[in-house]
Amino acid sequence: MILDLAKLEEKIEPLRARSLELEKLLSDPKVIQNPSEAQRLGKEYKDTLNTLKRFAELKNITEQIAETKELALKSTEPELKDLALSEVQVLEQKQRALQREILSSLLPSNPDWVRNCIVEIRAAAGGEESALFAQDLMRMYIKFAESRGWHTDILSSHPSAKGGFKEVIFSVEGEKPFQNFRFESGVHRVQRIPITEASGRIHTSTVTVAVLPEADEVDLVIDPKDLKIDVFRASGHGGQHVNVTDSAVRITHIPTGTTASCQDERSQYKNKSKALKILRARLLEAKKEEEAARTASQRRSQVGTGERSEKIRTYNFPQNRVTDHRVDLTLYNLGEILDGKIDPIIEALLEREIESNL
């Protein structure tokens, strides 16, 4: 979704005045003598100039797109027309990427946005069909992460009998993944004919998604004495090591009762490391929400109860339709969305956020 250039320029204009103001401040002797203040203003100045530079690039690319489209329209040579249309597609991809970066930079700063994140997907209403769609969502998110050059790592999973997931948790590492994935928190509803349905009736199922910023060790100190670590034999669908070695790990934070477990790796050490990563993210979320007793309430605020009526997005297979109910956006390219091409949805949510904050 491309925001109108003139509308975007109105939001950019205050940055031009701010950049001139910052130039004066950075040359002020009082600021120069205050290293922390100079560093803070220097970063703001750099970010402001980067946004203005991106906007200049966006204007240039928008002009190129218009000129290339006109060339394709006027061309009588099929090969030249195809070449021009191909170039338009490349330019439009750059246009969307630049707009996404600009919109993100215009939002009020949030320190969590630069963090890596942990995504928790759970089957909710709908039984086995819900578990199968949880797998679809995991695949969608991993492909989306790959398109951004981010790294994903499965931290914990509980497969279902038909090959889906009752629960799957993975981390995303890269350039500000939480800033984008935070929009995915909530209830996702799917409408389709399940493979388990013999009569061909359309079923409605739900999957819940919670996205937590990953915690660094400096964010909170966990006393090892407050951790209870249980080692047990892995169970379920998972490979030859299941039910053979005591490699699965469950960690409980005794003061809050918060738990995290992992059984995906053969190595007990690796399972412990992944479980600690999940636990740390949950404790950080609890700390931020001032709910030291347990983090479950914060995650419930993201995902609700999983009932079909509590939805942020609907995936309707018979109509090839995806609707994000928060911005009333409907797209008829379900296959592409499930292949990880969720950028138009994220851009629409960013645009709404811009409108509500500026």
Could you tell me the two tokens for 271?
């399972």
**pLDDT of 241:** 42
- What is the CATH code of the structural domain delimited by 224-296? 3.30.160.20
pLDDT band at residue 217 using 50, 70 and 90 as cut-offs: low
224-296 shares the fold of 5-106: no
Whether the pTM exceeds 0.75: the reply is: no
For residue 150, give the amino acid letter.
W
Burial class (CB in 10 A: 0-12, 13-18, 19+), 173: middle
The domain ranges of the chain are 5-106, 114-217+303-357, 224-296
Query: Does residue 57 carry a pLDDT above 90?
Result: yes
Quick one: fold of 5-106? Methane Monooxygenase Hydroxylase; Chain G, domain 1 (1.20.58)
In angstroms and rounded to an integer, the radius of gyration of the C-alpha atoms of the chain is 24
Query: Does residue 117 carry a pLDDT above 90?
Result: yes
Q: In whole angstroms, what is the distance from residue 283 CA to residue 289 CA?
A: 10
Point out the least confidently predicted range of 63-67, 89-93, 99-103, 218-222. Answer: 218-222
- We find that the CATH architecture of domain 114-217+303-357 is 2-Layer Sandwich (3.30)
Torsions phi, psi for 213 (to 5 deg): -70, 140
